[in-house]
Amino acid sequence: MTREATTPQATKTGSADGTAARIADLAHRQEQAAVAVPPRRRGALGARERIERLLDQGSFTETGLFVRARPTGDGARRPDGDGVVTGYGTVDGRPVCVFAQDSTVFGGSMGEAFGEKTVALMDLALKTGCPVIGLNDSGGARIQEGVASLALYAELVRRNVKASGVIPQISVVLGPCAGGAAYSPAITDFTVMVDGVSHMFVTGPDVIEAVTGERTTAEELGGARASNSVNGNAHFLAADDEDALDIVRDLLSYLPSNNLARPPEYAPAPAPGGAGLDQVVPDRTGQAYDMRDILRAVVDDGELLEVQELFAPNIVCALARLEGASVGVVANQPLHAAGVLDIDASEKAARFVRFCDAFGIPLVTFADVPGYLSGVHQERAGIIRRGAKLLYAYAEATVPKVTVVVRKAYGGGYAVMGSKHLGADLNLAWPTARIAVMGAEGAVGVLHRRELAAADDPEALRARLVAAYESVHGTPYPAAERGYVDAVIAPRETRAQLCRALRALRGKRAPMPERRHGNIPL
């Protein structure tokens, strides 16, 4: 005997209608929560538009859509999302987490719910081992929520520190980034700013004038150009929102997803041509040339992604590829201050070296350095302490390290620029290399001061002594005799030699002593 259904057909239909109504309500709520308000700045993209432009089409999954601002009083607005869009997706098929601050909601200011959403996204990125990208456009802490907003800034910075060296962190400043909001980008690995639009500072122009009487503008104080060229707070300068997002996509193509993964590899691409390298270095010691001509003739497709290109231009830091694999390039730039190492160049290069080491990116160094910059200003500003950061970074790095001495390598500059003594694995030198304590002119002036003073023709004697000094010390061969240089090579062989060296070093292991961490001279 068959048991009859106990639920009437009408009830089934009613249940289906109820479910359909709930689904329709969900769709309506989603639509309402995601309603875009036009950006305040002409030409700017909205928060969701920015995410869609950054990520692969259709890959974005939003989190926290229905999170609402905390109540702050009767009748206060409590918009869905609380002024920040968070979620995950892919860039070139690789997973990333992303948040975008929405300046149309409370000026993009961080409230408690806003902060909790961002912190939760950071936790997700850490658990899944994928890069996190922050699209910043905020007026700072939400005043009406008081200490809660300040607490969430501290929570966010704690996540930034926890993620440092574990997953790549990229900040894109697409508007204001003031007060406590500026410290999170400062801790992340790379910061991109938009020319004429982005501003990043701790204290704004109005407050500075009120407190100190100094008059300035937001652009002078912390605009994109000032942050890229004067204070070094930013790493890339973009023309507009879309250019900034393109820079992020390009940058990610060189980086691993986390510190346990290898950087992505691509089909090897030839360099534009190394034959011309034999003529790049001028015969005259003091004559300048563009180090980037050498770099582009060596790396795949001649492509360099320069980091902090406008800051401390006397040193070049760039991401590139050799045989399809990512490398970090550090090179003195003779076009600017003869490639000398000063405070800014040392700190710029030290941070870049440490980033590459944290994420397993091999380091290739091109040296043409007269030494550290002397002078009262540099000494009083702390060149001993701050210049030591670069020494520390190279000595600490355990990734494959290959150095090419192109021309000058004098004094402390020789030691710091990837020398064998700081742990470089393979050191090459061109025949044009001059490895010595100092240049011939300076050395002769010190060593033969009395002879020159007593000579009938001091200039003729100086010329002979300089030639004699250069014949012995102005070559790479004394260093090669001691094993400080592994090979002296023709310039045109540089790419082939670097590729062979990096292949040989691919399985490098460099165990370090057990410790909490070192104490870099900050």
* Average pLDDT value for residue range 499-503: 97
In this structure, are residues 182 and 202 in contact, taking their beta carbons and an 8 Å threshold? Answer: yes
Q: Count the Cβ atoms, other than its own, within 10 Å of residue 373.
A: 21
In this structure, are residues 86 and 48 in contact, taking their beta carbons and an 8 Å threshold? Answer: no
Q: Which of 303, 368, 364 is nearest to 334 (CA)?
A: 368
What is the structure's pLDDT at 12? 54
* Average pLDDT value for residue range 413-419: 95
In this structure, are residues 247 and 238 in contact, taking their beta carbons and an 8 Å threshold? Answer: yes
Beta bridge partners of 173: 136, 193
Q: What is the DSSP string of 197-228?
A: T-EEESS-HHHHHHHH-----HHHHHBHHHHH
What is the structure's pLDDT at 13? 55
Cα–Cα distance between 418 and 415 in angstroms, integer? Answer: 7
Beta bridge partners of 85: 100
In this structure, are residues 159 and 122 in contact, taking their beta carbons and an 8 Å threshold? Answer: yes
**Cα-based distances in Å from 183 to 116, 166, 201:** 17, 19, 9
Pairing of strands 61-63, 236-238: unpaired
Instruction: List, for residues 216-237, the tens digit of each pLDDT value.
Output: 999 999 999 999 999 999 999 9
* Whole-structure pTM value: 0.90
What is the structure's pLDDT at 40? 58
Q: Which two tokens stand for residue 170?
A: 């990229």
> Residue 250 belongs to what H/E stretch?
helix 241-252
Q: Count the Cβ atoms, other than its own, within 10 Å of residue 267.
A: 7
* Average pLDDT value for residue range 462-491: 87
Q: Which two tokens stand for residue 451?
A: 């002879």
Q: Is 294 helix (H, G, I), strand (E, B) or coil?
A: helix
Q: How confident is residue 240, by pLDDT bands cut at 50, 70 and 90? A: very high
Identify which has the larger pLDDT, 157 or 284.
Answer: 157
Cα–Cα distance between 1 and 377 in angstroms, integer? Answer: 101
What is the structure's pLDDT at 487? 97
* Average pLDDT value for residue range 116-139: 95
Q: How confident is residue 8, by pLDDT bands cut at 50, 70 and 90? A: very low
Q: Which of 389, 383, 323 is nearest to 353 (CA)?
A: 389
**Cα-based distances in Å from 327 to 99, 294, 305, 359:** 28, 15, 11, 11
